[in-house]
A and B are shown apart, each in its own frame.
Chain A
Amino acid sequence: KQEVTQIPAALSVPEGENLVLNCSFTDSAIYNLQWFRQDPGKGLTSLLLIQSSQREQTSGRLNASLDKSSGRSTLYIAASQPGDSATYLCAVSHQGAQKLVFGQGTRLTINP
């Protein structure tokens, strides 16, 4: 059974810092990995999708990497802003099992 872990559970940093969020998964036979952002009381917004054959994806100040062999992904946020404050969730899917298994999320606070 796939298990997804996100560490730390919460992170608080001053504005302007670069930061890394971590995601690990137990079964490396994944189809893709997706990072989401969730604001309080809102749904999930897709940030980046990495296919199993890819090593990284970039969107603006966000960069996500994938290392299947070690069962890890990182989400790098450059030059953090207060508007980046949210919960960040990673999720993985398997070929043939078209569902996402989620981590518990990292609650990020960017202090002005």
Chain B
Amino acid sequence: EAGVVQSPRYKIIEKKQPVAFWCNPISGHNTLYWYLQNLGQGPELLIRYENEEAVDDSQLPKDRFSAERLKGVDSTLKIQPAELGDSAVYLCASSLGMRTGTGELFFGEGSRLTVL
């Protein structure tokens, strides 16, 4: 069974440019998460989806970050415009959720962003 797939793995852009990350969760997982991980830190939640609905986006900087999960499967996270401080790893995770599963999260390999 395929795991969580993310692309691109690496992205280098100049500040003020836009960037987008894509995530395809494990088949059947209705809950999808985007996490941000700074160097030497644990991941922090940006947004959580239940199917196509964003149910927790309180930590998403909405002035420059946006996300969508239009059909309740794959998801895109966008930053526009990027700032130097956005350099980090963007992790996508999925789970069956607590109602139908144990709530165990499975992560992708991450997308490492460098803003110059």
Task: State the A residues within 8 Å of B (CB).
Answer: 4, 31-32, 34, 36, 41-46, 49, 51, 89, 91, 93, 95, 97-100, 102-105
Contacts and interface: CB of A to CB of B under 8 A. Distances in A.
Contacts of A93: 98, 103
Interface of B: 4, 6, 31, 33, 40-45, 48, 56, 91, 93, 95, 97-98, 102-110, 112
26 contacts: A4-B42, A32-B102, A32-B104, A34-B104, A36-B107, A42-B109, A43-B6, A43-B107, A43-B108, A43-B109, A44-B93, A44-B107, A49-B102, A89-B43, A91-B42, A95-B98, A97-B56, A98-B31, A99-B48, A99-B56, A100-B105, A103-B42, A104-B40, A104-B42, A105-B40, A105-B41
Contacts, number: 64
Contacts of B48: 98-99
A31 B98 contact: yes
B107 A41 contact: no
A53 B92 CA distance: 28
Contacts of B56: 97-99
B43 A102 contact: yes
A95 B41 CA distance: 24
A64 to B, nearest CB: 13
Contacts of A34: 104-105
